[in-house]
Amino acid sequence: MLWNQNIDPTKDLSKKPFILWRPFIAAWEWLVPPTVAHRDRQSPLARWVATFVIISLCTSLLVLGVVFARPLRNSYKNMRANSMVKESRRMAENGLIVNSVKTAQEAYSIAPENEGAIRLNFEYFTLMKRDTALYFYDKLKHLDALTPADEQLHVRCLISLGKPKEASLALEQLMRVSQPSEALMKLAEEIWGQREQNKPLLNVLRIYHEKHPDDKESTLRFAKVQLSSGNPSEIGLGMESLWKLASEDDAIGLQTLEYLSSLPSLTPADTTRLIERLKTHPKADDRHYVTALKREVQQSPG
C-alpha cells in the first residue's frame, strides 16, 4: 500500500541505525519529520506534541536564563576581581604602589562583594592611615569573612587613626575569643607595652606562656615585660626566666644575654654570671667578648 512505501528515495534502507538508537530516532522523526513527505503524513497529535515540546523548551531556556543570568554575571565579575587582586599584589611587590592601589580600587568597583578585593583595600587604606579602612573592615564583618589577621589589622588600624582606647578594647575582645598566637602576642606587646599597660599585657603573656612553656621567644617577651612592670615579685620571676634562657646554647640564649647586658644595673653576682656566660656561649663572637671585658673593667676598675 501507499502508506507502507518508502517516501524518502534517498534513504538506504539496507543501512539501519544501531538497534538501541532506533526508538529515539523514531520518536524524533515522529515529532520532527525529516522530509516534506513525512510532514504531510504527520498526525495532528504529533504536531500538537511537537509544538508543546518546543514551547516548553523555549520557556525552560528563558526561565534558566533569568535564574542563572545574575549568578553567572556575578561569577564573571568575581573572576575578574580575583585576577585584579593578584595583579595588584604583584604590583605592590614590584614597588608600583600607586598602580597597585588603583587596581585594588578597580577590583572593588567591579565586584563590591568580592572578599579578596575588600580585604586588599582594607589593607591598603590601613597602611595609608585612612578612615576608609574601617568601612572595608565593616564590609568583611558583614560578610562574616573576618580572619584572625583581619582582626589584628583592625587593631593596628585603630592605632594608626589615633584611637588608642578603641584599639585596646578591640584587642581585649580579640584576646577573649581568639587562641593566643605568636603574632597576637607581639601585637599585644606593641599596643599595651607602648601605653605602659603592663597589667593586661602581663596577664595575656602569662596565659600564653602557661599554654606554650616550650616557646622560648614567648618566654623572653614575657620576662622583659615582667622586668618593666615595676612589681618586685614580677621582676624576680622575670630575672629567673631570663637566666634560665641565658643558660641555653642556642640563639635565644645569646639574645637573652644581649638583653641582660643592656640592663642599666645588675647585682655583682649577676654581673659575674653574665661575664662568664658571654665568654663561653658557643654562638658568641668578638663583640660579646668585648662586652664581657668592658663589664669586667666596670666591675673591678682598679
Chain length of the chain: 302
Residues 6+ apart with CB under 8 A from 148: 174, 178, 181, 183, 184
At 197-243, the pLDDT tens digits run 667 778 878 888 888 888 888 889 889 888 888 888 998 999 999 99
Looking at the domain assignment, is residue 54 inside a domain?
A: no
**140 and 190 within one domain:** no
Q: With bands split at pLDDT 50, 70 and 90, how would you rate the model's confidence at 39?
A: low
Instruction: Tell me the residue range of the domain where 120 lies.
Output: 71-157
Looking at the domain assignment, is residue 207 inside a domain?
A: yes
**144 and 84 within one domain:** yes
Looking at the domain assignment, is residue 10 inside a domain?
A: no
**213 and 145 within one domain:** no
Looking at the domain assignment, is residue 256 inside a domain?
A: yes
pLDDT at 295 over 80: yes
Please report the pLDDT score of residue 1 as a whole number.
44
Report which of 217, 252, 220, 222 is spatially closest to residue 234, judged by C-alpha positions.
222
Looking at the domain assignment, is residue 209 inside a domain?
A: yes
Residues 6+ apart with CB under 8 A from 32: 50
CA 35 – CA 10 distance, rounded (Å):
11
CA 216 – CA 221 distance, rounded (Å):
9
Looking at the domain assignment, is residue 180 inside a domain?
A: no
The answer to whether residues 119 and 140 touch, using CB atoms and an 8 Å cutoff, is yes
Residues 6+ apart with CB under 8 A from 82: 114, 116
DSSP string, 137-178: HHHHHHTT---HHHHHHHHHHHHHTT-HHHHHHHHHHHHHHS
**292 and 269 within one domain:** yes
CA 77 – CA 71 distance, rounded (Å):
10
CA 179 – CA 188 distance, rounded (Å):
13
**294 and 268 within one domain:** yes
At 45-96, the pLDDT tens digits run 767 777 777 788 888 878 877 776 677 777 888 899 999 999 999 999 999 9
Domain total in the chain: 3
Check which CATH number belongs to the domain holding 121 and give it.
Answer: 1.25.40
**226 and 260 within one domain:** no
**204 and 135 within one domain:** no
* Residue entry with cell 512505501: 5
pLDDT at 27 over 70: no
Looking at the domain assignment, is residue 32 inside a domain?
A: no
Looking at the domain assignment, is residue 23 inside a domain?
A: no
**142 and 78 within one domain:** yes
